[in-house]
Amino acid sequence: MDVSPAFREAAEDYYTLLNKQYPEKASIALVGDRYRLSKDERMILFRGITSKDRALSRKAKLLPLPKLPELHVDGYNALFTLLNYRIGKLLFIGNDGYLRDAGGTHGRLTHTEMFLELAEDFFDHLVRIGFRKVQVYLDSPVSHSAFHAVEIRNILLQRGLEGDCTLGNSADYLLKRSSPPCIASSDTAIIDALPGPFFDAARSYLEKRYRPKFLDLSEWFK
């Protein structure tokens, strides 16, 4: 999907409103109606643009490639990003520097075979770039999460990775409790709550595997 010609101007107006502390939803409605943005374009504003101070805070926690052997992964956050890329949904880099998608699965999962194929390739990538222990957290309300946890444990074992796959009602809660040394997630609730460091593992994998050209909002607002 390509954004409309008016999208950049809309994004600049939205960014200005956030920096003046206007509420997000009201600002999206105002700007979206003014520039006749599509549903996906409004979602890019909501998920991809934050205030200057918050963007700088999140960027400061993001490391290109942490020199650490251990990674704690927000499992569905990373793997659904990969799946959405493969099925053709729009992905973009927010003005805080993290890769996100414009559409979510909302707890539903299709393309099971592709999901597991991507999981195998993703963990292979983590091994290749130097991680030796990978702890994965999955949200149990997502359909087939118990099956996914078993499959991911097998993948970790087959690749000689230490770690486990833990199910919980909220992966956010589990990550916040565990105080991990390095986290793979683009979830703003986790990024804002924890000191990091963070590693954008989904972006690292996609850029290595497919060399895509993402819409990069961090280049618009520096």
pLDDT tens sequence across 84-101? 999 999 999 999 999 999
Per-residue pLDDT at 183 = 98
Q: Could you give the CA distance from residue 39 to residue 43 in angstroms, rounded to a whole number?
A: 6
Q: Could you give the CA distance from residue 27 to residue 46 in angstroms, rounded to a whole number?
A: 10
Residues 76 and 13 in one domain: no
Domain of residue 117, residue span: 59-219
Residues 27 and 65 in one domain: no
Residues 205 and 141 in one domain: yes
Q: Could you give the CA distance from residue 176 to residue 180 in angstroms, rounded to a whole number?
A: 8
Residues 32 and 97 in one domain: no
Tell me the CATH number at 67. Answer: 3.40.50
Residues 11 and 68 in one domain: no
Q: Could you give the CA distance from residue 172 to residue 175 in angstroms, rounded to a whole number?
A: 5
Query: Quick check: is 2 in a domain?
Result: no
Q: Could you give the CA distance from residue 150 to residue 160 in angstroms, rounded to a whole number?
A: 16
Residues 88 and 24 in one domain: no
Residues 95 and 25 in one domain: no
Q: Could you give the CA distance from residue 125 to residue 17 in angstroms, rounded to a whole number?
A: 40
Query: Quick check: is 24 in a domain?
Result: yes
Residues 186 and 83 in one domain: yes
Contact call for residues 214 and 93 (beta carbons, < 8 A): yes
Query: Quick check: is 1 in a domain?
Result: no
Per-residue pLDDT at 177 = 92
Total domains, the chain: 2
Q: What is the pLDDT of residues 95-149, one digit of tens each?
A: 999 999 987 655 566 788 999 999 999 999 999 999 999 999 999 999 899 999 9
Q: Could you give the CA distance from residue 143 to residue 141 in angstroms, rounded to a whole number?
A: 6
Query: Quick check: is 86 in a domain?
Result: yes
Residues 125 and 143 in one domain: yes
Q: Could you give the CA distance from residue 149 to residue 66 in angstroms, rounded to a whole number?
A: 25
Residues 120 and 200 in one domain: yes
Residues 112 and 34 in one domain: no
Residues 150 and 70 in one domain: yes
In this prediction, residue 179 has a pLDDT band, given cuts at 50, 70 and 90, of confident
